[in-house]
Amino acid sequence: MGENDIDLSKVDEVLRKYTKEEASLIPVLQEAQSLFGYLPQEALVRISEGLNVALSRVYGVVTFYAQFYLTRRGRHTVRVCRGTACHVRGGKSVLDTAKDFLGVNDGETTPDFNFSLETVACLGTCCPQGARDPRSIRRQKGRLRWRDYCRRRILISFGSPS
Ligand code: FES
């Protein structure tokens, strides 16, 4: 099996755990994505057939929710906040720096599939209340600490694809 071949037997295993109805679509998509790191077209066709849900409906759901990806993702995802609070504190320059450093634009993945870069509307940590949940920041590499990010109100989170 080549690097780009998709093992659909894994999708079949997922499908066997769920009832054959549209209500199973989102959990099946989530599990399938956890297998591949994204949702390959072949897997979507198999899910459509397996749940007896129109392929157009499957694509509709996948493209509606930001949690689903149609292209292969990097091992790590760098998320830069473009929310208002971060914007007024220079969030755009952080995004530009990340783009330059990684050599990709928003929504793209480095050729070595190590990093994907994406922007988010708000990481939910731009106020003292939100700052109680710094899990995404704790996982980040480097020496900047959570309170440094809070002070600057410019947030970047690092994470692996789920
Ligand atoms: S605006 Fe950036 S974390 Fe909320």
Higher confidence at residue 3 or residue 25? 25
Are 28 and 82 members of one domain?
no
Q: Judge if the beta carbon of residue 120 lies within 6 A of ligand 1.
A: no
Q: Judge if the beta carbon of residue 134 lies within 6 A of ligand 1.
A: no
| Edge-to-edge strand list for the sheet holding 76-81 | 115-120, 76-81, 156-159
Q: Judge if the beta carbon of residue 94 lies within 6 A of ligand 1.
A: no
pLDDT at 131 over 90: no
Task: Read off the pLDDT band of 52 (50, 70, 90).
Answer: very high
Long-range contacts (CB closer than 8 Å, 24 or more residues apart) made by 57-61: 57/22, 57/25, 58/25, 58/29, 61/25, 61/26, 61/29
Are 84 and 51 members of one domain?
no
pLDDT at 8 over 70: yes
> What number is the average pLDDT over the span 25-43?
95
Q: Per the domain annotation, does 27 fall within a domain?
A: yes
CA of 98 to the centre of ligand 1 (A): 17
pLDDT at position 2 = 47
CA of 129 to the centre of ligand 1 (A): 12
Are 88 and 121 members of one domain?
yes
CA of 80 to the centre of ligand 1 (A): 9
Q: Rounded CA gap, 161 and 156, in Å?
A: 15
Q: Per the domain annotation, does 1 fall within a domain?
A: no
- CATH number for the domain spanning 86: value is 3.40.30
Q: Per the domain annotation, does 71 fall within a domain?
A: no
pLDDT at position 68 = 94
Is 147 in contact with 141 (CB distance < 8 Å)?
no
Q: Judge if the beta carbon of residue 123 lies within 6 A of ligand 1.
A: yes
Q: Which domain holds residue 125?
A: 76-159
Are 108 and 37 members of one domain?
no
Model confidence pLDDT, tens digit, residues 134-147: 454 455 444 444 44
Are 34 and 99 members of one domain?
no
> What number is the average pLDDT over the span 2-14?
84
Q: Per the domain annotation, does 69 fall within a domain?
A: no
Are 86 and 148 members of one domain?
yes
pLDDT at position 79 = 87
CA of 145 to the centre of ligand 1 (A): 16
pLDDT at position 157 = 64
Q: Judge if the beta carbon of residue 155 lies within 6 A of ligand 1.
A: yes
- Into how many domains does the chain fold? 2
CA angle 74, 79, 85 (to 5 degrees): 170
Token pair belonging to 96? 């530009």
Model confidence pLDDT, tens digit, residues 83-110: 888 888 888 888 898 899 899 999 999 9
CA of 158 to the centre of ligand 1 (A): 15
Q: How far is CA 140 from CA 57, 149, 153, in A?
A: 36, 11, 16
CA of 2 to the centre of ligand 1 (A): 41
Are 48 and 83 members of one domain?
no
Are 42 and 97 members of one domain?
no
Q: Judge if the beta carbon of residue 83 lies within 6 A of ligand 1.
A: yes
Is 102 in contact with 115 (CB distance < 8 Å)?
yes
